[in-house]
Amino acid sequence: MYVSDLSLDDFRSYRSLVLSLEPGPSAFVGSNGQGKTNLVEAIVYLATLSSHRIGADTALVRRAAPGQAQPAGAVVRARAVHGERPSVLEIEIIAGKANRARLNRGGCRPRDLLGVLRAVVFAPEDLSLVRAEPGVRRGFLDDLVVTLRPGLAGVRAEHDKILAQRASLLKSARAARSSTSSMLSTLEVWDAQLAAAAARLIAARVDVVRRLRPWVASAYETVSGTSGQRSRAQIAYRSSLLTHEGHPEPDPHDESAWLAGEETLLDEAALAARLESAMGELHAREIDRGANLVGAHRDDLSLFLTGLPARGFASHGEQWSLALALRLASYDMLRTDIDAYGGDGEPVLILDDVFASLDEQRRRALAQMVAGPKATVSNASVSGKDVQIGTVKGLPGDGNAITEGVALSTGSLIDPDSTADSDTDITRSAVLGPNDALDTTGDFGVVEDPAGLAKVAGTDVYDEAVLEFDVTATSSTIVLYYSLGSEEYAGATEGTPASWQSRGYKDPLSIQVNGTECAHVPGTQTAVSAASINESSNAAYYTANVSGHTPGQIPVEFNGYTSALPCQASVTPGQKVHVRVAIADAQDGQLDSTVLLRTQGLGFTDKPITDPCNAKAGTCDIPGNSNSNGSNGAKNGKDSATPPGQGKPGVTDYSAASPTASPKKTVAGLPLTGTQALFLGGIALLLLAGGGVALMLRRRRLTGSEAG
């Protein structure tokens, strides 16, 4: 997601402004007082319906110069681009009156804008997240809750209304110095209403905190540039209800205790009953003080660094880094936690004067974190039959498998085409199972060899498919995760090369970076193929889907496949890198092979991969690459943002791999025309690099096998 256009009328210091923005990072540079933060504030207001700088909207309306008429209000407009669905948001901020809003040129309630533009902003004011009173941290959690679940905005507003009305009743009882039965009955009614609203709000907050926790720890470690106890950041939900019930305060040295307490706050119905009971027990004290003493409005977010409260013990720089980590963690959670919240896009990340209180080490770490993984893909092209390239999602497999990404195959990615030419033998999909036969194939009879794979194979090649693109390097090492799946693993017996291989069916795979081959068995210079990775050679990187001459149980056409392997090569930051991925049938067009390129598996790093995706390593992440979901895997446990199929390798329990309900749905966007194939190549690259990559696709006319 990004903002392509921003328009302001009478907003802050701007009489009128129209600004166009491009995908990718944008920087506003200028002297102090020029209005840079005002631009940020306008975007934030559209996303949250509130300013991150002030509480009242009146100051947002431009103050007219002496002798000029004072504007009645300010107007903020923006176009938010999310995939192929741009949305135009507009809000009119009217001094002393209710605001008016429009969405895609149609009138709507201001609340309806929430969730359309998702943004995370860090500003100097965020230091208050650590230093200020609990209300600031509650606001942080509530804003995040509403961003994730816009429907809870109404619950939040209703809770605040009920809270104020109940407080007014308590003050009236205090002033009367007595509590009548009628007053107590009325108070009980308000108890039930407040408990129900507070329970929903607390449960949502706790859910956010539990999901946010690993991201905060990871972000602070990255920003601080240190590891271990010295950089340990912890967050805990501090509940007034738990305190009332006798639970101890969160202890940074006993994390399991507060986690257990948080767990009890997730059941809304039970929580509402507990809150109502606690309110009843506190009636006398509440009337005596004229205030609500238990509930969501009395809770807090506890922040710890190195086992100590951050508010009282951390330095200014550490507090600044922790506040920044809270915002960066929010961004990562919004970007990745799709299963929990139904999110489907990367939010806009805004950093305002972020370097002000960071030392040089932390500035470098932050710059690498924000800008390092980003890449720009350009000049994409594909060759081969249209049906040989496509995007795949939901492929079954064990923990080794790449189940989502881009597929490039020697056969057809779709089901058999009954209308195919007589010289085209397509008996079934080269990818989709069930794997109930060993000799099925797709043969296009194409002998062209634009990638020069015949030299690699040492024989004629057929059905060649090639994907090429340029990408701008942002660090010293490029990494591209891929996996080889093939029918050529058929016929293998324990300790004996596959029978198909012995007959010369050795499909060549090539991945080149600037003309240098990098598809090697990890730690060697041996080319990856069915002959070099199988049950008897480099078995740590192999999953069999065949037993002797019997098809395997995993419902994909591959008779075996490799783990997710890294192609990595040294590159020069700031320069374009040319990547070419190619695969072909060797000797004839039989027995298809497919190379799978992992979603979000393209990135750059200064830390080369040394132990990739095998039984000893639990993740397939690119170090320092937030586009590949950064710190995940075992660190995040059940809340891991690891993409499907990127779990711990070495799993061989095929019974856990359930067949896909509808195989046709696991391959997206096929069949294709020649022009569409090129477009799909662009989509494929976007999937490879994730939301942080700007795509610039140069169309060109397809010729030869490309147009066939």
Report the distance separating Cα 275 and Cα 196, nearest Å: 8
Strands 576-586 and 404-409: unpaired
Report the distance separating Cα 585 and Cα 410, nearest Å: 6
Strands 119-122 and 348-351: parallel
The residue type found at 692 is G
Sign of CA dihedral 320, 321, 322, 324: positive
128, 134 in Cβ contact below 8 A?
A: no
**Looking at residue 271, what is its pLDDT?**
97
Which DSSP category does 58 fall into?
G
Start-to-end CA span in the chain (Å): 35
| pLDDT exceeds cutoff 70 at 427 | no
580 sits in which H/E element: strand 576-586
Alpha helices in 544-631 (DSSP H): none
Dihedral-angle region of residue 510 (phi above 0 means left; psi in -120 to 50 means alpha; beta otherwise): beta
Mean pLDDT to the nearest integer, 415-429: 56
337, 641 in Cβ contact below 8 A?
A: yes
Residue 463, both tokens: 């059905």
| pLDDT exceeds cutoff 90 at 413 | no
Q: Look at 337-346, 476-485, 660-669 and tell me which has the smallest mean pLDDT.
A: 660-669
**Looking at residue 411, what is its pLDDT?**
86
Mean pLDDT to the nearest integer, 510-525: 92
pLDDT band, residue 96 (cuts 50/70/90) = confident
**Looking at residue 388, what is its pLDDT?**
82
pLDDT band, residue 147 (cuts 50/70/90) = confident
Mean pLDDT to the nearest integer, 199-222: 91
303 sits in which H/E element: strand 300-305
Mean pLDDT comparison of 204-208, 418-422, 627-631, 657-661, highest-scoring range: 204-208
Q: Look at 14-23, 54-63, 299-308, 617-626 and tell me which has the smallest mean pLDDT.
A: 617-626
The angle subtended at Cα 386 by Cα 385 and Cα 388, nearest 5°, is: 70
**Looking at residue 535, what is its pLDDT?**
81
| pLDDT exceeds cutoff 70 at 426 | no
Calculate the alpha carbon distances from 284 to 172, 189, 192 in Å.
Answer: 13, 16, 17
**Looking at residue 500, what is its pLDDT?**
56
Higher pLDDT, residue 375 or 349: 349
At 502, is the secondary structure helix, strand, or coil?
helix
Residue 682, both tokens: 């662009």
Query: Nearest CA to 429 among 393, 387, 469?
Result: 387
Mean pLDDT to the nearest integer, 3-32: 86
pLDDT band, residue 196 (cuts 50/70/90) = very high
pLDDT band, residue 357 (cuts 50/70/90) = low
**Looking at residue 348, what is its pLDDT?**
86
Report the distance separating Cα 586 and Cα 508, nearest Å: 7
Report the distance separating Cα 645 and Cα 98, nearest Å: 49
pLDDT band, residue 229 (cuts 50/70/90) = low
Report the distance separating Cα 668 and Cα 277, nearest Å: 53
343, 148 in Cβ contact below 8 A?
A: yes
The 3-class secondary structure across 474-501, one letter per residue, is CCCEEEEEEEEEEHHHCCCECCECCHHH
Report the distance separating Cα 95 and Cα 70, nearest Å: 11
Higher pLDDT, residue 75 or 424: 75
The 3-class secondary structure across 18-33, one letter per residue, is EEECCCCCCCCCCCCC
Which residue do the tokens 């009645």 mark?
72
Higher pLDDT, residue 531 or 235: 235
Mean pLDDT comparison of 320-324, 405-409, 597-601, highest-scoring range: 320-324
Residue 565, both tokens: 């392997």
**Looking at residue 619, what is its pLDDT?**
53
pLDDT band, residue 231 (cuts 50/70/90) = low
**Cis status, amide bond into 555, omega within 30 of 0:** no
Query: Nearest CA to 573 among 472, 676, 692?
Result: 472
Q: How many CB atoms lie within 10 A of CB 189?
A: 11
| pLDDT exceeds cutoff 50 at 339 | no
pLDDT digits (tens, 9 = 90+) for 369-384: 554 444 555 566 778 8
361 sits in which H/E element: helix 360-371
**Looking at residue 120, what is its pLDDT?**
87
Residues 6+ apart with CB under 8 A from 515: 578
| pLDDT exceeds cutoff 60 at 625 | no
Q: Look at 124-128, 233-237, 343-347 and tell me which has the smallest mean pLDDT.
A: 343-347
At 675, is the secondary structure helix, strand, or coil?
helix
Calculate the alpha carbon distances from 506 to 199, 500, 551, 645, 695 in Å.
Answer: 62, 8, 20, 26, 34
pLDDT digits (tens, 9 = 90+) for 280-332: 999 999 999 999 999 999 999 999 998 899 988 999 889 988 999 999 888 88
Higher pLDDT, residue 500 or 679: 500
Query: Nearest CA to 368 among 224, 518, 539?
Result: 224
**Looking at residue 424, what is its pLDDT?**
54
Q: List residues bridging with 348 in a β-sheet.
A: 119
Query: Nearest CA to 529 among 515, 546, 510?
Result: 510
pLDDT band, residue 10 (cuts 50/70/90) = very high
Mean pLDDT comparison of 393-407, 453-467, 609-623, highest-scoring range: 453-467
On average, the pLDDT of the chain sits at 76
pLDDT digits (tens, 9 = 90+) for 644-689: 222 222 222 222 222 222 333 233 333 333 333 333 333 334 334 3
**Looking at residue 428, what is its pLDDT?**
73
